[in-house]
Amino acid sequence: MTVADQTQTEALETEEPQLTEYTSESTDTPAEGEEVRRPSASAPSAGTGRRKQAIARVRIVPGAGEWKINGRTLEEYFPNKVHQQIVNEPLKVLELDGAYDVLVRVHGGGPSGQAGAVRLGVARSLNDVDPELNRDTLKKAGFLTRDARVPERKKAGLKKARKAPQYSKR
């Protein structure tokens, strides 16, 4: 064996062994039982939501998950648990419960319409924060679609939108 061959074999022995097997798993995947937290931008955002006759202006800022609706807490403004769930759905779907403080100004309509308007406003503002990460999930859940159903107008000659006066034969 010559000196060149000897140095070449020493160099091969000192090199790291080459991979002979490939896997599709990445090395940065969390272990079993470890919580997966989706990254989100920490910038404030705003969105407008409408439902029936209600209009909600929503602003989200990174915080502890506090809600202020017209100066009141979520439980004070929406005592009905169903309305509280409706309003919270976009944050729950994105697993961002408690990550943002939500400030809302809402007027018009009743409690159900206002809850739907706030939900749309929250979803739109979360979409503005990080569209690549949040849009698909919110769209699939149907939170970015505005419900266009509004009350029908009253017609002339009728008591309400469709209710006709009582018919009298004589």
Instruction: Judge whether residue 17 has pLDDT over 70.
Output: no
User: Does residue 45 carry a pLDDT above 80?
Assistant: yes
Q: Which residues 6+ apart lie within 8 Å of 128 measured at CB?
A: 45, 46, 47
The secondary structure of 116-161 as a DSSP string is: HHHHHHHHHHHHHH-HHHHHHHHHHHTTTS-----PPPP-TTSSSS
Which amino acid, residue 17?
A: P
pLDDT tens-digit map of 101-119: 999 999 999 999 999 999 9
pLDDT(9) > 70? no
Average pLDDT of the chain is 84
* Per-residue buried b or exposed e for 92-121, using 16+ beta carbons within 10 Å of the residue's own CB: ebbebeebbbbbbebeebeebbbbbbbbbb
CATH topology assigned to domain 45-141: Ribosomal Protein S5; domain 2 (3.30.230)
At 40 the pLDDT is 52
Reported as a single tens digit per residue, the pLDDT across 47-79 is 999 999 999 999 999 988 899 999 999 999 999
Amino acid symbol at 58: V
- Look-up of token digits 């990254």: 39
| Chain Cα centroid distance, residue 124 | 8
The whole-number pLDDT of residue 56 equals 95
40: which residues sit within 8 A by CB, 6+ positions away? 94, 96, 99, 129, 130, 133, 134
- Which pTM was predicted? 0.71
Q: How confident is the model at residue 14 (pLDDT cuts 50, 70, 90)?
A: low
What is the mean predicted confidence (pLDDT) over 13-23? 58
Per-residue pLDDT, 44: 87
Q: Which of 20-29, 36-45, 109-118 has the lowest mean pLDDT?
A: 20-29
Q: What is the pLDDT of residues 81-101, one digit of tens each?
A: 999 999 999 999 998 888 899
With cut-offs at 50, 70 and 90, classify the pLDDT of residue 8.
low
